[in-house]
Structure 1
Amino acid sequence: MAVSIMLDAGHGGRDPGAVYKGRQEKDDTLRMVLAIGEILENRGIDVQYTRTTDIYETPYQKAMEANEAGVDYFVSIHRNSYPIDNAVSGVESLVYDLSGIKYEMAEDINDQLETIGFRNLGVKARPNLVVLKRTKMPAVLVELGFINSDTDNQLFDENFDAIALAIAEGILDTLMQNPVVDMDSVPDVMPELTPEVEPEEEEAPPRYHIQVGAFRNMENAERLKEELLADEFPAFVNRIGPYYKVLVGQFTSVDNAASTEQALRRAGYQTVVISGD
């Protein structure tokens, strides 16, 4: 079964959340959650939602939904607010305590959002928040800028797709660094994929590949491979245990691998450089 995550759009229905100049937090969060979810689904993640329409549920109900669904992770999207308009700006993420994979994910999300132009206000512990306290899985609450900051709202509106991708990449970065299958177990690539050949009498140097996806379903892996090939990236699929790994290239230099990884990221793919040895 694929890694599963429940995405929560903060507030909803009769609870608008923070409001500024007619702008309502519940609307921003729902749009963003649906965009993030689409990206994650396209990368093989099993995504569930606390809401996909403008309805109200208590934070406790949302936590119980996640627990009953048995998802692996819970990520809640909110917009922040401050008593004085345009006095504060930036993104911050909240977790139950500053430890474990939830803390890693919060940091990865913040780091990605910082590349969009948001000020990174860091990760903070909030043990009394219901969706962080009552969920049984690692949970992160992202405060996606201040809704009463014109600076943050401009960033939100002008970079909406990039923000959704950044949050998804932050989540995927954490998952790649905490894989279900040990990355060291990735075998050699298929020989017909033009590897960099070393003389037989010399010891071959370490090989590096770029992982772009990991799927339980072979069809999803093949679909991503064909998409990468269409973009002229030398992609292939390797079966590793229960997973179909979509990999790009075979490099003897980690610098060359990193250069190709950057090109993949610019093209909108979520990636991680792995060793094939």
Structure 2
Amino acid sequence: MLITRKKGMLCLPLLLLILLLSVTDSYASISRDYQTALNQFRSLVKNPKQARYRSNWKRLEDKFIAIYQTNPDGSYAPKVLYYMGRVNEELAKRSYLRSDYQASVDYYNRCAKRFTKHSWTDDSLFRLARIQYYNLNQATEARRTLNTILRKYQSGDKYKEARALHRKIIAEVRNSRSSVASKSTVKKKPAKSTPSKVRKTNRSSRNVALKGIRFTSSNDYTRVVIDLSGATKHQYKFLNADPSRNLPFRLYIDLDRTVPTQSVKDELKIYDGILRMIRVGKPVPSTSRVVLDFEAVQKYTVFALENPYRVVVDVSAPKDGKMSHPPVDLSKKVLVHKTKKPSRTIPTSRKIPDLVEQLGLTVKTVMIDAGHGGKDPGASRNRIREKDYVLKTAKMLGKKLKAKGFNVLYTRSTDVFVPLEERTAKANVQKVDLFVSLHINANRKTSVNGIETYYLNLARSKSARRVAARENAITEKRISDLQFILTDLMLNSKMQESKALAELVQKSMVKTVRARGWKSKSNGVRSAPFYVLMGAKMPSILVELGYCSNKTEAKRLRNNSYLNLLAAGIANALSTYRHNLKNYAAM
């Protein structure tokens, strides 16, 4: 039965139908908007290049906010709040800003408090607890959040994970208390020890010490090394210059649970090259921040080396000092296993286009690196200490190269210790044309012998991994892990040119010693991720002159005539390399 009150009014059933269609249409619109925003979130997470920009995350957050404001009590509201938390959490992973993590916490909290019976509430609480514990150093708050899950959401899909994390936090608190209790018992024995000093020792024992900061700088290249007492997490961010506030280009590195030692200055002014100043501070109590101020930046790379643990920063500046585009972070490119196109490789006696372009049609200066030295003896077997014999060979090689018209520089000319990362940095700053690192090998199997030459690339064999692990002073397992963070350092290290140089040197050494009756074995040219070659801007190789662990080969290596022949073989190869280059330039 139709019910009407006045002429011209719609009947009640028709009005209800219109309202129902309006609500349905609104729900469908929210559903479409939510799905669109969700797809954009998933795409952004999978796109590292776009995910680097804060503006992309903030635009996505605005879209979720608009959906939420349309119907803050609707069925999509808890999901939208959850993803608003996810957006800020993903942003925080890239910005390393505490404020972004806090924004994420706020959204997860709102979802959990407003929608206590929704199936996503325990997910919000668990993500909230993880951020509190891992990112905000709020173990007590994280425990309370997990307690809520354990009490109210026992049938939720996050219950087991919440229980595991809760147990982890409890165990950490108990270990901490027992450690403090045991040390407080010990403190009673010394008559003059004070409680304040004991507490200070306990606190610092859980931290890593920032021992010092070293740098090598020129007008277009800088390498900064941050020395630490142990391994720790590090994050970094590049900040553009702000002329209105008189702020230069800055790169800051945050070191988790790290405390600077007294020898580390708060500020260190640099008066040479593109590096202006190094500053050290603590943005939060548990984090040390190292800020590098630069004149200009074109490319930068941040990576960690082990044994001892240090964080290395490589920065290159435009030659004219002008910034035409944002700097490129080489640390975050995707792993690439393929080499460059064949047309860009360097045949041993054919055209050399890339090298000609980069080196001005000539090779003038060679840096010779005698491996190890000082406190680091290197391989020591059969009356051979690697550091002594490679230095002797380096000086022989230097004399021969000078006789052929090369300028020769050394990373060390005496028995001193030079860190691996400083050797390549010296070559970059001096703008040398070729870098040759000399070493002597060793193996547990005394039957293994032979000459081998390496260039920087992924290790293709177990033997190459073993050699790289020994020269880097790390385990073979770490070599496997290392390969996934070295890709861009390798792709920007004249890989193909280095391979061609290695082939010439290997062939020439073996030919030279065999011509004089020495029955030396050739193990060929190999590739591996060597610390000493990382970041080199010129063709660079590492030569293993032989195995001191093999008695026959050790006897050869103790013979000055044999070392002189190896040096001659290397010098002849470098001369041929230069000659091939000149031939191309004359074409």
SS at match of 1:95: strand
Residue of structure 2 aligned with 1:161, choices 561, 564, 572: 564
* Number of the residue aligned with 2:545: 144
* CA distance in 1: counterparts of 2:453 and 2:393, whole angstroms: 16
Structure 1 runs (4+) greater than 3 angstroms displaced: none
TM-score, length-scaled by structure 2: 0.30
Alpha-carbon distance in structure 2 between the residues aligned to 1:143 and 1:28: 12
- Structure 1: gaps (5+ residues): 185-277
8 Å CA contact 2:382–2:551 kept in 1: the answer is: no
Q: Structure 1 residues 57 and 46, CA, compared in 2 at 3 Å: closer, same or farther?
A: same
Q: CA deviation at 1:45?
A: 0.5
Instruction: Determine which of 472, 494, 510 is the counterpart of 1:114.
Output: 510
TM-score relative to the length of structure 1: 0.62
Summarize deviations over 1:219-271 as a string: whole Å, max 9, x none.
Answer: xxxxxxxxxxxxxxxxxxxxxxxxxxxxxxxxxxxxxxxxxxxxxxxxxxxxx
Indicate which of 179, 182, 187 corresponds to 2:582.
179
Counterpart contact for 2:366–2:434, Cα < 8 Å: yes
* In 2, Cα distance between equivalents of 1:134 and 1:32: 25
- In 2, the alpha carbon distance for the partners of 1:22 and 1:89 equals 16
* Counterpart mapping for 1:82-231 below 5 A: 82-85=443-446, 87-97=447-457, 99-115=495-511, 116-117=513-514, 118-126=520-528, 128-156=529-557, 157=559, 158-179=561-582, 182-184=585-587
Partner residue, 1:81: 442
Listed as ranges, the matches of 1:195-274 within 5 Å are none
Q: Is residue 30 of structure 1 aligned with residue 391 of structure 2?
A: yes
Q: Provide the aligned length of Structure 1 versus Structure 2.
A: 182
The Cα shift of 1:9 comes to 0.2
CA contact 1:101–1:174 (8 Å) conserved in 2: no
Structure 1's 108 and 181: CA in aligned 2 closer, same or farther, altered over 3 A? closer
Q: CA deviation at 1:47?
A: 0.7
Q: Distance in 2 between matches of 1:151 and 1:174?
A: 31
Partner residue in 2 for 1:42? 403
SS of match in other structure, 1:35:
helix
Checking the alignment, whether the CA contact within 8 Å between 1:79 and 1:147 is kept in structure 2 is: yes
Q: Which whole-Å CA distance do the structure 2 matches of 1:136 and 1:54 have between them?
A: 26
Q: Residues 116-165 of structure 1, C-alpha deviation per residue, up to 9 Å, x if partnerless?
A: 13211111111x21122221111000000111112222333142222211
Does 2:405 match 1:4?
Answer: no
Return the alpha-carbon distance in structure 2 between the equivalents of residues 183 and 119 of structure 1.
37
- Larger Rg, first or second structure (1 or 2): 2
CA distance in 2, matches of 1:75, 1:143: 11
1:183 and 1:54 map into 2 onto residues whose CA distance is 42
- CA pair 180-71 structure 1, distance change in 2 beyond 3 A: farther
Q: 1:149-205, CA deviations, whole angstroms, 9 ceiling, x for partnerless residues?
A: 122223331422222111111121222122286344xxxxxxxxxxxxxxxxxxxxx
Secondary structure of the structure 1 residue equivalent to 2:412:
coil
Note if 1:61 corresponds to 2:462.
no
RCO comparison, higher one (Cα < 8 Å, 6+): 1
| C-alpha distance in structure 2 between counterparts of 1:180 and 1:6, whole Å | 23
Distance 1:21 1:88 in 2: 14
